[in-house]
């Protein structure tokens, strides 16, 4: 059987390991939308955590075995609901991307190395790809994120929710005031664990790919020690580094390190241009972000191992403006050395108050109309067919997902949440989404 003939197979459960912001080990980031959140649990029901537990033992946690068994039987495991949903609405899922990236890992091969109950021999099938979320240290407080994603959210979170705590996969996170009267917690400092780094570094001979996110991964000092170890042990030439970064922290130090690796892939989170990205990814400044994009574009010309592209998280705030961003990238940006796609897209499933499905029907139609106009604009500008097809695929994915359900029941929460953040950040939703004026006026 080929990988493509299976509608549920994904190579990740056999060769990949993922760690959440709090250190909990999980199936993958896509599983975060499921009831289990994809967390690998021990027999006693507690979570495997990379700071304190054996990452190798976690690979045969009950959920991991169950998922492998289901995949080999052609079944959708409940933890894979996000990929199942995205594929049903025409979006390109994480499962599909994994099958393309790791096409050398064949379903029949892993079947022969997997026991009936889903157990694998971890020596014969070592982890070759890691997904590491280095805590929640970040310099931004994006509207679709929260305190588990960025420590910059603590004050606004507690003010909006009227409590100094929130829940994550490991339980209730209690914030407290330090000597400077700032809210803090140590729950996201797992990446300082010596045990974790010893485990990762012991696998250097097997590692082919490391994906790093945060928070903002380029703020994590300890990871630079890991990169230098890869260089000193002559392993960097075998490893692909991939970052999801907000594009605000490119230092000379990291640029000098990256040139030693087989490849460095940068997915730079840019959710719009000018005031749109400043609104959604507060308090980023477009001028700084734009300058950094130009710097990376130039660096990619100098070092062929550095690849980059823009990633966009589509929310109620920026869906209308994805076309503006597309046209800017293609026609005006001067970013001439990106990988051969306009941008990669992620739909904001949660919080529900930022999900595009909640938008009123007429606003959804306005967004669809804007996308159609954008395609005509690109055609008139004689943009090549590959880019036009790329844009069309992007627009179709958003509109199909957006129209797949009516979630307008969440409109009151969206309005309340948005008005609160607007007041805190001295911003105004109507500056970027004037079509929503009647709803915000009515709620005043």
pLDDT at 147: 96
Q: Is residue 16 part of a domain?
A: yes
Q: Is residue 292 part of a domain?
A: no
Q: Is residue 113 part of a domain?
A: yes
Dump pLDDT digits (tens) for 68-124.
999 999 999 999 999 998 898 888 899 999 999 999 999 999 999 999 999 999 999
Which parts of the chain sit beneath pLDDT 50? Answer: none
pLDDT at 443: 57
245: helix, strand or coil: strand
Is the pTM value of this prediction over 0.75? yes
pLDDT at 82: 92
Q: Is residue 311 part of a domain?
A: no
Q: Is residue 386 part of a domain?
A: no
Dump pLDDT digits (tens) for 45-57.
999 999 999 999 9
Q: Is residue 234 part of a domain?
A: no
Domain extent for 63: 3-127
Q: Is residue 30 part of a domain?
A: yes
Q: Is residue 120 part of a domain?
A: yes
Phi, psi of 436 (to 5 degrees): -90, 5
N-terminal to C-terminal alpha carbon distance within the chain: 59
Query: Total structural domains in the chain?
Result: 1
């Amino acid at each position: 059987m080929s990988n493509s003939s299976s509608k549920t197979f994904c190579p990740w459960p056999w060769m990949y390991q993922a760690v959440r912001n709090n250190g909990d080990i999980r199936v993958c980031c896509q599983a975060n939308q499921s009831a289990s959140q994809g967390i690998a649990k021990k027999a006693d029901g507690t979570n495997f955590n990379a700071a304190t537990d054996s990452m190798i033992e976690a690979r045969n946690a009950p959920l991991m075995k169950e998922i492998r068994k289901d995949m080999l039987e052609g079944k959708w495991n409940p933890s894979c609901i996000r990929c199942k949903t995205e594929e049903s609405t025409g979006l390109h899922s994480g499962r599909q991307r994994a099958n393309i990236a790791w096409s050398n890992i064949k379903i029949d091969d892993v079947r022969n190395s997997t026991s009936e109950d889903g157990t694998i021999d971890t020596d014969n099938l070592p982890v070759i790809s890691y997904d590491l979320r280095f805590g929640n240290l970040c310099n931004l407080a994006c509207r679709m994120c929260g305190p588990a994603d960025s420590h910059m959210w603590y004050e606004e979170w507690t003010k909006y929710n009227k409590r100094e705590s929130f829940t994550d996969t490991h339980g209730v996170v209690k914030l407290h005031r330090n000597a400077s009267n700032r809210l803090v917690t140590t729950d996201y400092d797992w990446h300082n664990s010596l045990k974790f780094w010893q485990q990762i570094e012991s696998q250097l001979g097997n590692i082919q790919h490391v994906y790093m996110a945060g928070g903002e991964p380029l703020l994590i000092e300890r990871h630079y020690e890991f990169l230098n170890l890869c260089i000193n042990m002559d392993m960097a030439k075998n490893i692909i580094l991939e970052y999801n970064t907000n594009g605000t922290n490119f230092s000379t130090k990291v640029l000098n390190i990256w040139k030693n690796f087989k490849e460095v892939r940068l997915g730079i989170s840019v959710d719009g241009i000018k005031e749109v990205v400043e609104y959604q990814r507060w308090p980023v400044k477009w001028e700084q972000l734009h300058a950094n994009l130009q710097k990376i574009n130039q660096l990619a010309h100098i070092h062929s191992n550095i690849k980059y592209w823009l990633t966009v998280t589509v929310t109620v705030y920026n869906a209308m403006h994805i076309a503006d961003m597309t046209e800017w990238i293609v026609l005006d940006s001067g970013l001439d050395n990106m990988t051969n796609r306009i941008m990669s897209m992620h739909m904001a499933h949660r919080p529900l108050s930022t999900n595009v499905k909640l938008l009123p029907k007429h606003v959804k139609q306005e967004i669809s109309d804007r996308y159609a106009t954008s395609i005509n604009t690109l055609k008139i500008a004689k943009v090549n067919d590959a880019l036009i097809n790329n844009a069309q695929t992007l627009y179709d994915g958003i509109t199909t997902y957006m129209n797949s359900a009516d979630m307008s029941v969440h409109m009151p929460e969206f309005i309340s949440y948005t008005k609160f953040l607007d007041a805190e950040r001295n911003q105004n939703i109507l500056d970027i989404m004037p079509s929503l004026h009647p709803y915000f006026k009515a709620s005043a």
